[in-house]
Structure 1
Amino acid sequence: MSEKKISEIQKEYKDASIDFLPDFIEEYINDGRPGVSKIIGQAQKKMEKLRLERERIEKLKEFEKKYWEKYDYIGGIDEVGRGPLAGPVVTACVVLPKDCDILYINDSKKLTAAKREELYDEIMEKAVSVSIGVVSENRIDEINILQATYEAMRQAIKESKVQPQLLLNDAVTIPEVDIPQVAIIKGDAKSISIGAASIIAKVTRDRMMVDYDKIYPEYNFASNKGYGSAEHIAALKENGPCPIHRKSFIGNFV
C-alpha cells in the first residue's frame, strides 16, 4: 500500500498533465484503498474522454487528409457576422500543419466563450498561417451582405502568410478566386481547418464588438454582439441607430 495520504494522491492527480496520467494510473492502480480507487477511476474516465476526443479530431481531419496527399497548404475559410444588425462581417483563413495536434476544435457556436478564447491562442500559436478579413457595415450596406462576405474572404486569403493551394470553405464557393475550392456544407463541424477558422473569426469579431460596447454602451454590444436580441431592438427603437448599425438591416425597427 502506498505510504502517501489520499489527499496527497488527489493533489498529485489534479496537478498531473494529461501525458502523465498513464504513469499515474499505473503507480496507484493496485493501492487498494477505496479513496485511491475512486481517484484512479476519475483518471481512467479522463483518459477515455481524451481517447474519444482524439478519435473525433482524426475524423475531423478527413477532408484535409484526402487533399494533403496533393497539397501542402490547405486553407480553411469561414465567416462570422452575416446576421447581426450592427458591426462588420469577419472572415478567417487558417492553414494548419499536417501534424496538427490541437484538440477540441469544433464549430465555434458549439463551444463556450472561454473555450473559444483558449483555442484561439492555441491556433494562433500552432497554425502555419492565420489571416483575417473584415468588411465594415457601410460596405455591407453598399454591396449587400453576401458580396461583403465574399470580399472579406478574399481579404483573408490575400493576407495569408503562405498561399493556400486549396481552400476548404464553409458551404460557399468564393467568386474571383483562382485557387481550387471545395465547398463543404456545415464545414465548420466537418473540417478541422474550417472549424479553426470559425473560432478565429468568432473571437476576433466578438472582441471588436466588446470594444464597440465601450463607445456605444446603450446598445449592450458586449452581450448581444450586434445581433437582434429583444434588448438590442428595444435600445435601437429608443435611441435610434449608431454609426455601426447596418442601415440595410434595421428598416423594420427605426
Structure 2
Amino acid sequence: MKIEEIKYILQNTDIKDIPSVADSFRKDMRTGVQKLIAKYQRDYSKYLDELSRLEVMQEFEHKYREYAYICGIDEVGRGPLSGPVVAGAVILPKDTTILYLNDSKQVSEKRRELLYDEIMEKAVAVGIGVVSPQVIDEINILQATYEAMRIAIRKLSVQPDLLLNDAVTIPQVKVKQVSLIKGDARSISIAAASIIAKVTRDRMMAEYHKLYPDYGFDQNKGYGSARHIEALKKIGPCPIHRQTFIKNFV
C-alpha cells in the first residue's frame, strides 16, 4: 500500500480507533509509515488527555447525578459599555462527551462556533436570556444579569431539577442551586452555557456593527477598546450604549 493511502486511512479514522488501525500498519518498516504511526499515536495520546480533562470537569455532574436534569447557567456581557447581557442555560445528556468544551474565554472564536453547533445538537435543552442596555441602565447590571438567567431558565423546553451556576445564586428561582466559583472551568454544563451565551452575544454585536460601524463592535464586542472610546468621545453614544457605563467618556 502506498504511504499516501495509509495516510488517507489514518486521517479518516475515528480518533478512538487509531490504536487498532495503526497497529495494522506497524510491521511496515518504511520510514514514512512509521512517522505516520508515531504522529497519530501522539494525536491519540492528546485525545486521552482531553478525555481525562473532561472527566474532571464532570465532577459535579457525577456528584449530583441523582438529579434527572442538571442545568448549567452562565452569562456574558457584564462589563461592556454597550450591548445586552446574555445568559445561557444548558441541560446536557448524562455522560455526554463534547471534546474541547471549556470556559468560553479559554476557547478560540473558531472553536466556540464549532462547540456551539455541537452543544445545540446534543443538548437535552438550551435556553437563552437577553436583557437590553436600557433595562441594564434601569435596574443595574447585577439585577439585569439575574433577569437574563431567569429568562434563559424559562426558555428551557425541559424543567431542570438542579442548577449549576457560575459563582452566583439567582434570586426568585425555586429550583435547587449550586454556586461554583470559576464554574465555567469546573463543570461541563456551565462551560456549555458559557459557550452558548458567548457565541449568541458575539453574533448580536456583529449585527450591531452593521448598524453602528464607527465603534468597532465586530472586534471589541462592546468593550472599551481604544477605538470604541475614541468614537464615543468624537460622535457620542448610539442606541445600544449603556448610559450608566459611559459617563466618564461622554
Structure 1 CA distance, aligned partners of 2:98 and 2:246? Answer: 40
Structure 1 CA distance, aligned partners of 2:93 and 2:136? Answer: 33
Equivalent position SS for 1:43: helix
Q: After the TM superposition, which of the residue ranges 171-180 and 14-23 deviates more from structure 2? A: 14-23
Structure 1 CA distance, aligned partners of 2:38 and 2:112? Answer: 29
Please report how far the alpha carbon of residue 153 of structure 1 lies from its aligned counterpart in structure 2 after TM superposition: 0.4
Letter in 1 for 2:132: S
Letter in 2 for 1:157: I
Structure 1 CA distance, aligned partners of 2:206 and 2:47? Answer: 33
Paired residue for 1:59? 56
**Number of matched residues?**
250
Please report how far the alpha carbon of residue 185 of structure 1 lies from its aligned counterpart in structure 2 after TM superposition: 0.2
Paired residue for 2:185? 189
Please report how far the alpha carbon of residue 169 of structure 1 lies from its aligned counterpart in structure 2 after TM superposition: 0.2
Structure 2 CA distance, aligned partners of 1:20 and 1:168? Answer: 34
Matched, 1:204 2:200: yes
Matched, 1:26 2:28: no
Equivalent position SS for 1:103: coil
Structure 1 CA distance, aligned partners of 2:166 and 2:108? Answer: 21
Matched, 1:14 2:11: yes
Structure 2 CA distance, aligned partners of 1:48 and 1:18? Answer: 10
Where does the alignment leave 5 or more consecutive residues of structure 1 unmatched? Answer: none
Q: After the TM superposition, which of the residue ranges 170-179 and 5-14 deviates more from structure 2? A: 5-14
- The answer on whether the counterparts of 2:89 and 2:153 sit within 8 Å (CA) in structure 1 is yes
- Point out 4+ residue stretches in structure 1 off by more than 6 angstroms: none
Paired residue for 2:168? 172
Equivalent position SS for 1:76: strand
Structure 2 CA distance, aligned partners of 1:29 and 1:220? Answer: 54
Equivalent position SS for 2:45: helix
Structure 1 CA distance, aligned partners of 2:30 and 2:96? Answer: 40
Structure 2 CA distance, aligned partners of 1:239 and 1:88? Answer: 21
Paired residue for 2:121? 125
Please report how far the alpha carbon of residue 212 of structure 1 lies from its aligned counterpart in structure 2 after TM superposition: 0.4
Percentage identity across paired residues of the two chains: 62
Paired residue for 1:214? 210
Please report how far the alpha carbon of residue 24 of structure 1 lies from its aligned counterpart in structure 2 after TM superposition: 2.1
- The answer on whether the counterparts of 2:10 and 2:22 sit within 8 Å (CA) in structure 1 is no
Structure 2 CA distance, aligned partners of 1:64 and 1:11? Answer: 38
Equivalent position SS for 1:28: coil
Structure 2 CA distance, aligned partners of 1:20 and 1:55? Answer: 17
Please report how far the alpha carbon of residue 193 of structure 1 lies from its aligned counterpart in structure 2 after TM superposition: 0.3
Equivalent position SS for 2:64: helix
Q: TM-score, with normalisation over the residues of structure 1?
A: 0.96
Over aligned residues, Cα RMSD in angstroms?
0.9
Structure 1 CA distance, aligned partners of 2:112 and 2:212? Answer: 25
